[in-house]
Structure 1
Amino acid sequence: MTQRSMALTAAAISAFIVGIALVATGSIAQNVGPATIAFMRYFIGVLLLLPLATAGRWRKVRPRDYAPIALLGIFQFAILIVLLNFSIIHIEVGLAVLIFATLPLLTMLIAVALGQEGFTMRKIIGIVITIIGVSIAVGSTAITVELGSKGWLGIGAAFLSAFTGAICSVFYKPYLQRYPTLQISIMAMTASVLFLFGLAIYEGILDNLVGFDASIWLAFLFIGICSAIGYFTWLYALTHTFPSNVTVFMGLSPVSAAVFGAIFIAQPLTIQDVVGSVFVAVGLMISLWQKTDENSLKVKRVP
């Protein structure tokens, strides 16, 4: 398997995990605050990744790199998730997923504007088809559900979450080329945990922890495991291919969410899920078909 194939496989794994984690998050979102959920998932994620750090390489970090890596971690792992968690409190999960599906389009536009990628109409068409697929898959819960009084806040939060993910996906590149993926994962997630701890305290985590039942703790553990695996594979993929090639796989998230929901919470699969999945698959094939995309713009190695 080529390095590019491994990167795309890692991106697909990460996308499936995001969908699964989103369903698990939705199951406790009405009982636990968004900052608390985000803090617990990455705190557990860091604990799971730390033992692996002793077995791998750990390069000396330039002093000037600490701040941007920490900021990327705070935005990617903290602010993005808080915004997404906030959105699914005020709007249906399906609508949040649909809005978040604009992530690859936003990523490509930003990467092209900054000169990291070359513009190709074929990739744009592929990305748009994946978004159409997502809209079909989640349409029954995204389009037809009436928005509540704070629905527009949820929509805005979901879009800002996607925009944050796009910005981070592009700006991670120099640091992922300079340091090992596991090192960046741990550094970024640790920064986000420290940031989220303050938000979680404000949200009342110290008082609420004793009131969480076993089902909530199991959800925390499951989401934490998903975070550790999902974001390591995400950063690995970003290391070895263009950001838009990675983020386009986010179209798989509602597919995994539908399958996971059908298996574990008796949520029936619909014809919309199947048709939407086909559109997502077609969009992915169109977007990633030509391997020459990787050579359309030289990726500069950062010393």
Structure 2
Amino acid sequence: MTAKQSSVRSRSLGLAYFGLVVTPLFWAGNAVVARGTVESIPPLSMSFWRWVIALAVLLPIGLPGIWRQRAVIRQHLGSMLALATFSVAAFNSLLYYAAVTTTATNIALINATIPIFVALLAWLLLGDRTRPIQALGIVLAILGIITVVARGKLSVLTSLQAQPGDLIMVAAVFCWGLFSVLLRRQAVPLPPLTFLTVQIALGTLVILPFYLADFVFFSGGFELSRQTAWPLLYFALFPGILAYGFWNHGVHTIGPARAAIFMYLTPVFASILAGIFLGEALGVAHVVGGVLILVGLLLATRAGRPARFPADR
């Protein structure tokens, strides 16, 4: 390896690790900013305009690839519509609805269990073999979710008094799990940028009728101002486009198994940011639930085939 090649590889490796650290920071910020602005921007408006902005940024770059791959896109349009519905449309809209009634810390902790839901659904729907150590990890992570949702109180479960936002976030993570399993079953042979651009375009179209109904009959939309524009730009650029690019570069450079470990930083960053900007305090249930979730993730993801974690969220 020449000195020039070594220098290029060193820079690429440095960028990979930098990107894999800031990507969970961006995802954590998604939950924190959503929680902080959900009273100013209705959830469906938040979801719809986030993707409109992201699409406006990506389309000039992605359109040539869409044109070149139009035959492949046409052939797989049904599969791509289903994938976009569960990921771009459902996952993000549900996450923003969850922010209405639960904390950013809870959102991030539940969101961190995505690999568990992927493994569980892959076992149920694809027949993937699950090792005993993975099954133990899944059980521990589910117990962690229950601890967070129940806020450490059994009476919350027995009296069905869980925060609606926590349950909505569980539904969001379930949707992302379905998306990941469908992505494996119905792989679409498209370059990453083309795939992402088409996914965002289709997902935005899926959200559109729901956004219009919400705008006309329920929320009435929001007032565009500096206070509402900046969060939307953040949603579109950082947890959307930049996270996607950083994550894929990191996975390509150091491999999916090592990259997946960085996902565990998301709830850590979220708890710090939520404490600083939203005044959220960590309780015993958060600590206990978080430890169970993280231990479960380590057991479930390190013991078997690494899951794919697309980053268009």
TM-score (norm 2): 0.69
Equivalences, count: 287
Match of residue 78 from structure 2: 67
Cα–Cα, structure 1 residues 47 and 55, in superposed 2: closer, same or farther, change >3 Å?
Answer: same
For 1:190 and 1:163, how far apart are their aligned partners in 2? 22
| Counterparts of residues 127-166 of structure 1 (less than 5 Å) | 127-129=138-140, 142-143=151-152, 153-166=164-177
Comparing 265-274 and 189-198, the one that deviates more: 265-274
Cα–Cα, structure 1 residues 77 and 217, in superposed 2: closer, same or farther, change >3 Å?
Answer: same
Pick aligned residue for 1:112 from 110, 123, 127: 123
Match of residue 256 from structure 1: 269
Q: Give the C-alpha shift of residue 203 in structure 1.
A: 2.1
Match of residue 215 from structure 1: 227
Larger radius of gyration: 2
Cα–Cα, structure 1 residues 200 and 268, in superposed 2: closer, same or farther, change >3 Å?
Answer: same
Contact in 2 for aligned 1:125/1:286 (Cα 8 Å): yes
Contact in 2 for aligned 1:105/1:124 (Cα 8 Å): no
For 1:8-51, what per-residue CA distance to the aligned partner results, in whole angstroms no more than 9, with x for missing partners? 99887654432220111111112221110101111222223334
Question: Which sections of structure 1, spanning at least 5 residues, go unmatched?
Answer: 296-303
Pick aligned residue for 2:241 from 228, 235, 244: 228
For 2:305 and 2:75, how far apart are their aligned partners in 1? 29
Match of residue 101 from structure 2: 90
Pick aligned residue for 2:42 from 33, 36, 61: 33
1:172 partner SS: helix
Within the alignment, does 1:46 sit opposite 2:58 as a pair?
no
For 1:119 and 1:249, how far apart are their aligned partners in 2? 23
Q: Give the C-alpha shift of residue 274 in structure 1.
A: 7.5
Contact in 2 for aligned 1:134/1:254 (Cα 8 Å): no
For 2:142 and 2:289, how far apart are their aligned partners in 1? 9
Question: Which sections of structure 2, spanning at least 5 residues, go unmatched?
Answer: 1-8, 10-14, 307-313
Alpha-carbon RMSD? 4.6
For 2:135 and 2:16, how far apart are their aligned partners in 1? 20
Q: Give the C-alpha shift of residue 79 in structure 1.
A: 1.4
Contact in 1 for aligned 2:214/2:220 (Cα 8 Å): no
Contact in 1 for aligned 2:62/2:194 (Cα 8 Å): yes
Contact in 1 for aligned 2:108/2:270 (Cα 8 Å): no
Contact in 2 for aligned 1:101/1:134 (Cα 8 Å): no
For 1:181-240, what per-residue CA distance to the aligned partner results, in whole angstroms no more than 9, with x for missing partners? 22111111111112223222222289645x233112111111111222335566789999
- Counterpart amino acid of 2:69? R
Cα–Cα, structure 1 residues 83 and 44, in superposed 2: closer, same or farther, change >3 Å?
Answer: same
For 1:118-173, what per-residue CA distance to the aligned partner results, in whole angstroms no more than 9, with x for missing partners? 3122233345555667778x68x9447989x9966434422221211110011113
Contact in 1 for aligned 2:81/2:202 (Cα 8 Å): yes
Comparing 222-231 and 38-47, the one that deviates more: 222-231
1:179 partner SS: coil
For 1:249 and 1:130, how far apart are their aligned partners in 2? 17
Q: Give the C-alpha shift of residue 88 in structure 1.
A: 2.5
Contact in 2 for aligned 1:131/1:251 (Cα 8 Å): no
Q: Give the C-alpha shift of residue 265 in structure 1.
A: 5.0
